[in-house]
């Protein structure tokens, strides 16, 4: 893997000192960083249903937010200053973005959210706020001023169309030039304002809140629950207080409710499926004229293959999880599929039959593509 852009820190040092703890400013972290997108590309991507885009315009203390997909004409009458266009999931529509994400592969894939790219003319930004995510803010073209604060007060302006901190008291300020990068842990108050036309790349890492995770777990249980039996009371005695729920009834009901607590295997399956579930807008496009299984095997041996940009493939000791689906594979298939999950690509090589069968199925679903870029 290429080195992560963390200046002189090793990956372990960065994780120990900064990750989830405190900001890191890395000057010239990627001095050779070739811009991945131009303003024009970004405006085009904001018109695609495969990304999620927001246009944020500031007028004094008033903020206006509109959501994509946009039409070309939405961009024709924008002011000269004080707005920004943010496009999420750029890595889904721009395969070249994978090289940048590869630099962050020292953080598990299951933590990655997406690559967001923003464009702003001078004065543009999203206002002082905090995120629930870890984020690496890499400066592309132009300069941006970042202010951050260690404040604990995260009260938001009421009734604003986006998250704006009511009281922002910056404690540090930097001007970032192309190639500089700022890492921010969750809940760190920050505000980035474009000093000139600028493009900023945000590599964001998600962490579910307990509330979100438990609520998805309840959905999972609802769909997967096996709860045999029924409440019985063959030893019932005449009730003197028929309105009372008595001790025996409580015990019997509690015994039944224990079925709602799945075993470890059920929880592991939920975790894998949940972490590998793509965002709701993601769709996979199966190949229009698919290769035969034999051609596919030949092409994998000669040209390798890679995951589709929006695919999420993870594994644990027991199973594989691809785009929210759990899948058990024979031992002979596992090493190659684990390699694919780790690197998102497989170099040209002839693969075991067991692996090819699964890979071919995934290819037919649009989860992976033959060939790897040079």
Q: Which stretch binds ligand SIN (CB under 6 A): 18-26, 125-133, 224-232, 336-344?
A: 125-133
The single residue among 88, 139, 200, 323 that binds ligand SIN, judged by CB under 6 A, is 200
Q: Is 237 exposed, middle or buried (0-12, 13-18, 19+ CB in 10 A)?
A: exposed
Q: Which does 74 bind (CB under 5 to 8 A by kind): ligand SIN, Co ion, none?
A: none
Q: Which does 91 bind (CB under 5 to 8 A by kind): Co ion, ligand SIN, none?
A: none
Q: Which residues does 170 contact at the CB level (< 8 Å), separation at least 6? A: 147, 148, 149, 191
Q: Rule CB under 6 A: is residue 185 a binding residue for ligand SIN?
A: no
Cis bond upstream, residue 66 (ω within 30): no
CA distances from residue 189 to 148, 151, 168, 180, 222 in whole angstroms, order as listed: 6, 7, 8, 19, 38
**Furthest CA-CA distance within the chain:** 84
Q: Decide whether 140 or 370 has the Cβ nearer to ligand SIN.
A: 140
Query: For strand 320-322 and strand 325-327, is the pairing parallel, antiparallel, or unpaired?
Result: antiparallel
Q: Which stretch binds ligand SIN (CB under 6 A): 26-34, 123-131, 287-295, 296-304?
A: 123-131
Whether 341 contacts 276, CB under 8 Å: no
Q: Rule CB under 6 A: is residue 118 a binding residue for ligand SIN?
A: yes
CB of 178 to ligand SIN, least distance (A): 14
The three-state DSSP-derived secondary structure of 255-270 is: HHHHHHCCCHHHHHHH
Whether 150 contacts 185, CB under 8 Å: no
CB of 192 to Co ion, least distance (A): 7
Pair of tokens at residue 234? 């063959």
Length of the chain: 374
Q: Which stretch binds ligand SIN (CB under 6 A): 57-65, 118-126, 256-264, 360-368?
A: 118-126
Q: Which stretch binds Co ion (CB under 5 A): 129-137, 158-166, 323-331, 350-358?
A: 129-137
The single residue among 29, 202, 310, 311 that binds ligand SIN, judged by CB under 6 A, is 202
Q: Rule CB under 6 A: is residue 84 a binding residue for ligand SIN?
A: yes
- d(C-alpha 110, C-alpha 275), whole Å: 6
Q: Which does 200 bind (CB under 5 to 8 A by kind): Co ion, ligand SIN, none?
A: ligand SIN
Q: Rule CB under 6 A: is residue 131 a binding residue for ligand SIN?
A: yes
CB of 122 to ligand SIN, least distance (A): 13
Q: Rule CB under 5 A: is residue 113 a binding residue for Co ion?
A: no
């Amino acid at each position: 893997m290429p080195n992560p852009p963390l200046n002189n820190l090793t990956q372990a040092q960065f994780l120990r000192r900064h990750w989830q703890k405190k900001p890191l400013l890395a000057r010239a972290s990627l001095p050779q960083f070739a811009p991945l997108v131009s303003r024009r590309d970004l405006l085009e991507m904001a018109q695609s249903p495969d990304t999620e885009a927001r246009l944020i315009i500031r007028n004094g203390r008033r903020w206006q937010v509109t959501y994509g997909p946009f039409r070309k004409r939405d961009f024709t009458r924008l002011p000269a200053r004080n707005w920004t266009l943010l496009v999420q999931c750029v890595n889904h529509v721009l395969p070249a973005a994978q090289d940048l994400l590869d630099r962050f592969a020292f953080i598990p894939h299951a933590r990655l959210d997406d690559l967001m790219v923003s464009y702003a003319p001078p004065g543009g930004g999203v206002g002082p706020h905090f995120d629930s995510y870890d984020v690496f803010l890499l400066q592309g073209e132009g300069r941006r001023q970042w202010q951050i604060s260690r404040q604990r007060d995260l009260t938001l302006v009421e009734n604003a169309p986006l998250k704006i901190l009511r009281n922002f008291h910056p404690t540090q300020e930097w001007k970032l030039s192309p190639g500089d990068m700022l890492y921010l842990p969750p809940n760190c108050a920050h505000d980035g304002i474009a000093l000139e036309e600028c493009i900023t790349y945000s590599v964001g890492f998600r962490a579910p809140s307990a509330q979100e995770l438990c609520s998805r777990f309840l959905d999972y249980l609802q769909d997967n629950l096996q709860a045999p039996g029924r409440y019985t009371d063959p030893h019932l005695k005449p009730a003197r207080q028929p309105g009372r729920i008595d001790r025996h009834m409580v015990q019997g009901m509690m015994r039944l409710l224990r079925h709602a607590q799945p075993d470890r295997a059920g929880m592991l399956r939920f975790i894998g499926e949940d972490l590998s579930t793509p965002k709701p807008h993601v769709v996979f496009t199966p190949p229009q004229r698919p290769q035969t299984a034999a051609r596919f095997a030949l092409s994998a041996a000669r040209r390798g293959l890679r995951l589709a940009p929006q695919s999420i493939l993870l594994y644990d000791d027991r199973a594989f999880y691809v785009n929210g689906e759990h899948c058990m594979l024979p031992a002979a298939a596992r090493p190659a599929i684990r390699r694919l999950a780790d690197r998102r690509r497989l170099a040209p090589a002839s693969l075991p039959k067991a692996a090819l069968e699964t890979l071919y199925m995934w290819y037919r679903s649009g989860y992976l593509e033959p060939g790897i870029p040079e």
